[in-house]
Amino acid sequence: MKSIEAIRADFPILQREINGLPLAYLDNAATSQKPLAVLQAMDDYYRLRNANVHRGVHTLSEEATTLYEGARGRIARFINAPSSKQVIFTRNATEAVNLVAYSWGLDTLKPGDEVLITQMEHHANIVPWQLITERTGATLRYVPLDPQGMLRLDLLNELLTERTRLFAFVAMSNVLGTINPVAELVARAHGVGALALVDGAQSVPHLPVDVQALNCDFLVFSGHKMCGPTGSGVLYGRRELLERMPPFMGGGDMIREVRLDGSRWNTLPWKFEAGTPAIAEVIGLGAAVDYLTGLGMEWAQQREHALVRYAMEQLERVEGLRILGPGPEQRGGAVAFTLGEIHPHDTAAILDAEGIAIRAGHHCAQPIHDFYGIAASARASFYFYNTFEEIDRLVMALDKVHSVLGI
């Protein structure tokens, strides 16, 4: 196993200074940093193999296609998908949810049907279902939170019914860090005949994910949160569902035949990938998966758990600081908090002056903040390359916030 120092050396941006101080990057729930292996893979494509995929017989096109489809295969193995044909490339997890909402939802839902989501969802897994249920006449229902930031699973018996067609839920909250019992929730959905969509945007980058063991019908995640580039995302789906779903977008590459009187669609996975794809980004995501596989996702999960446990212990010493969500045994690497009456934006600005990058706002999860009766929170979120020394700097800087603001 590489040392933390050697791992950090793989990420050029971690060598930066901000305001003359070493960067402490603690905004990993928003996006992670990228290792040299990812940057080099994308640079190699643009410098030496830049061509469109699937459409050419010349050397560059064949090399680009091999890299692009090779990444698909490695990503399929990373989540243990039965086939790479079940891995659909999207721009991000948001687009992947929308693909399911518009392709499966519009084609399936009708008045009297219900879609169940939770109060801890990212807006990306709320707004599409609000739009689709409004258009189809279906009903949208929510699993509420308890004061500890956990789902009220005791209410599932009354919320999951024979009318439920889909249960869409986050595996790990981007605000509370709560890790949900995914396999149990999938089984509960299947028990009433509903499908299960898992938002893995925060879980796939941070812990081992096996779609066959989870038995989920859909899984979505983004590349940029797992050492890959922006503009890359994945929808995994059960093959029989994807086969039945109509295309999400029309255009080139998603067709088998086009005539003036109609068209026939391509096979999976290309049926859902219209137009020239984000080739370099997919190649970069494949390199990110290789990098994470080399580290080991079990190790990454253990490393982050140690970091978040230490962070929560130290943060409890800060005057007026309140952590949202459960204890360290039930959460991943995100720690959202408030600091008395100090606005989170002020907290984040003062921390930035100390070279520490955190997030401030509602984190695209306003219903969570409504539940706690606050407009916003500050959030420190950790990845395997963070250090305990960075957490110490965070705590010292938070103590300084009081003195700077005189509060």
* Single pTM value for the model: 0.96
Question: Which CATH fold would you assign to the domain 39-293?
Answer: Aspartate Aminotransferase; domain 2 (3.40.640)
**What pLDDT is recorded for position 407?**
73
How far apart, in whole angstroms, are the C-alpha atoms of residue 337 and residue 401?
Answer: 14
CB burial string 137-150: b at 16+ within 10 A, e below? ebebbbbebeeebb
List the one residue out of 212, 186, 213 whose CA is nearest residue 199: 186
CA of residue 140 relative to chain centroid, distance: 22
Per-residue pLDDT of 364-405, as tens digits, reads: 999 999 999 999 999 999 999 999 999 999 999 999 998 898
**Cβ(190)–Cβ(215) below 8 Å:** yes
- List, in order, residues 6 or more apart from 370 with CB less than 8 Å away: none
Token pair 């990993």 is found at: 28
- Tell me the per-residue pLDDT of 58-77, one tens digit each, with 9 for 90 and over: 999 999 999 999 999 999 99
| 216 is annotated as an active-site residue | no
| Domain ranges within the chain, ordered by starting residue | 4-30+297-405, 39-293
Extract the tokens encoding 323: 């952590």
* CA 253 – CA 54 distance, rounded (Å): 8
| Cβ neighbours of residue 192 closer than 8 Å, sequence gap 6 or more | 160, 161, 162, 164
The tokens describing 39, both together, are 């940057």
β pairing state of 21-22 and 17-18? antiparallel
Q: How far apart are CA 282 and CA 191, in angstroms?
A: 36
> For 130-180, what is each residue's pLDDT tens digit?
999 999 999 999 999 999 999 999 999 999 999 999 999 999 999 999 999
The dotted CATH code for 4-30+297-405 is: 3.90.1150.10
Burial class (CB in 10 A: 0-12, 13-18, 19+), 99: buried
Residues in contact with 253: Cβ distance below 8 Å, sequence separation at least 6, in sequence order: 54, 55, 266, 270, 273, 274, 275, 276, 277
Name residue 127's amino acid.
Answer: V
Q: Which of 140, 274, 364, 395 is catalytic?
A: 364
